[in-house]
């Protein structure tokens, strides 16, 4: 695995540039924010949302205004690339990405070598017994 530390640095620089570090955040708040993104992913799953979609009818371009809705609210997939740059992506994968972004932001802030930590933990996990010796969940 390579490049993830650079991504963490870039994500943290973007968060700083957008004002998210004008006030200090404690570790507990960071963890709660990560948890909230995972909860949003679960809700998206429960609502049977696609992995990635854009709400229909953003009003920002003719493509959106003239496009018929895919049953309900969604413009899904590559057919809607014309306006993806100015529309907020939604869905299960997006919420999972938000959690990863929050984790990498923290790693970038703290100078954590997350690439090494992931590699170290993955190598250890490969040595564990099947289901860690019989765990059910």
- Contact indicator for 56, 74 with CB cutoff of 8 Å: yes
> Higher pLDDT residue, 55 or 72?
55
pLDDT, position 86? 60
- What lies within 8 Å, CB to CB, of 121 at 6+ separation is none
pLDDT in tens, 26-52: 999 999 999 999 999 999 999 988 888
Q: How confident is the model at residue 16 (pLDDT cuts 50, 70, 90)?
A: very high
Q: What is the mean pLDDT of residues 64-88?
A: 53
Alpha helices in the chain (DSSP H): 4-17, 27-46, 62-66, 92-110, 114-126, 131-134
- End-to-end Cα, the chain, rounded Å: 27
Backbone angles phi, psi at 70, to 5 degrees: -80, 135
pLDDT, position 53? 76
Q: How confident is the model at residue 88 (pLDDT cuts 50, 70, 90)?
A: confident
The SS3 assignment for 117 reads: helix
Q: How confident is the model at residue 89 (pLDDT cuts 50, 70, 90)?
A: confident
- Contact indicator for 11, 101 with CB cutoff of 8 Å: yes
Mean pLDDT of the chain: 83
pLDDT, position 75? 56
Q: How far apart are CA 8 and CA 101, in angstroms?
A: 8
């Amino acid at each position: 695995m390579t490049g993830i530390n650079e991504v963490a640095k870039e994500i943290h620089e973007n968060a700083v540039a957008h004002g998210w570090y004008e006030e200090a955040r404690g570790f507990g708040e960071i963890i709660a924010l990560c948890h909230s993104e995972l909860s949003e992913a679960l809700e998206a799953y429960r609502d049977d949302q696609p992995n990635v979609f854009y709400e229909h009818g953003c009003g920002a371009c003719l493509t959106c205004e003239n496009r018929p809705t895919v049953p309900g609210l969604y413009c899904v997939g590559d057919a809607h690339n014309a306006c993806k740059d100015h529309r907020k992506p939604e869905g299960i994968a997006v919420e999972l990405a938000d959690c990863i972004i929050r984790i990498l932001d923290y790693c970038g802030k703290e100078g954590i070598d997350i690439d090494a930590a992931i590699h170290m933990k993955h190598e250890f996990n490969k040595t564990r017994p099947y289901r860690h010796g019989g765990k059910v969940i």
